Amino acid sequence: MITDVVLKEKQIESKLSGFSHDEVGDDHLFTGIETPMKPDAFEISDDEKKEKIAGLFSEIMNVMGLDLTDDSLKGTPKRVAKMYIDEIFSGLNPKNKPKVALFDNKYQYNQMLVEKNITFYSNCEHHFVPIIGKAHVAYISSGKVIGLSKLNRIVQYYAKRPQVQERLTNQIAEELKAILNTEDVAVIIDAKHLCVSSRGIKDETSATVTSYFGGKFNTQEKIAELQNTLKY
């Protein structure tokens, strides 16, 4: 249940509060199901954010010793700013949340529906490097159904922010539960973290798998059925 998830997160946050950033190091941790956002996160426009980011990124490039007068580099700060706001972190802004329409389950299909192998690109909030993976989502209708493409859009919306895979899994599941008005939702994510493969330990073969099984999916029989479906 979500209350158990929130309680566990508060316990983790309490334990972490006494540690410095260096002590936490590269540990893969998250402290809440909600993406950490400032209260005034949307008081300035997207255009203002792009302008500020471009200026700050110019400073980063300058500090690294890059020549911003070079034809190849001079447009980079603006390109990065546009990419951050309009693309890879667009899921931070609620205005970009996909609009979802539900339809009556006229076919009376009462078994699980699975949308598998939804490719997504996200970014690790600890190092701002890519997370590349596939999401598998499933639900059992409580009387309403959702367009298949909307399942993909929900995954993409929550992926397009600085993320931790555990949080991403729970956010997708909670969104589907709220939209479909059912606890019968499952989410499995299999992803490769470049903060593991391209830096730090530099393990290029490992992957991370997280899952959420709610309602009728939270049984050994249903989990086995879902896992068997994902094999094909």
Domain CATH code at residue 66? 1.10.286.10
Is 195 a catalytic site residue?
yes
Banded pLDDT at 27 (limits 50, 70, 90): low
**Longest C-alpha distance within the chain, in Å?**
64
Mean pLDDT of 168-175: 98
pLDDT of residue 22: 59
Domain with 5 in it: 1-32
Q: Are 72 and 151 contained in the same domain?
A: no
User: Same domain for 28 and 108?
Assistant: no
How does pLDDT run across 107-161, given as a tens digit for each residue?
999 999 999 999 999 999 999 999 999 999 999 999 999 999 999 999 999 999 9
Q: Does residue 93 lie within any of the structural domains?
A: no
Give the model's pLDDT for residue 14. Answer: 44
pLDDT at 3: 39
Residue 155 within a domain: yes
Q: Are 117 and 82 in the same domain?
A: no
- Say how many domains are in the chain: 3
Tell me, yes or no, whether 44 and 26 share the same domain: no
Active-site residue, 21 included: no
Confidence of residue 32 (pLDDT cuts 50, 70, 90): confident
pLDDT at 25: 55
β 112-124/162-163 pair status = parallel
Is 109 within a domain? yes
The residue annotated as part of the active site, out of 9, 165, 171, 174, is: 165
**197 and 107 share a domain?**
yes
Q: Is residue 95 part of a domain?
A: no
Options 115, 126, 166, 171, the catalytic residue? 126
Q: For residues 132 and 205, state if they share a domain.
A: yes
Same domain, 157 and 61: no
Separation of alpha carbons 22 and 19, rounded Å:
8
Does 226 lie in the same domain as 205?
yes
Q: Are residues 114 and 177 in the same domain?
A: yes
Active site residue 28: no
220 and 119, same structural domain? Answer: yes
Q: At what angle do helices 165-180 and 148-159 cross, to 10 degrees?
A: 140
Active site (annotated) includes residue 9: no
Catalytic-role residue among 163, 166, 171, 195: 195
Task: For the chain, give the number of residues.
Answer: 232
d(CA 223, CA 211): 10
CATH at 193: 3.30.1130.10
- pTM of the prediction? 0.87
106 and 217 share a domain?
A: yes
- Catalytic position from the list 124, 136, 163, 175: 124
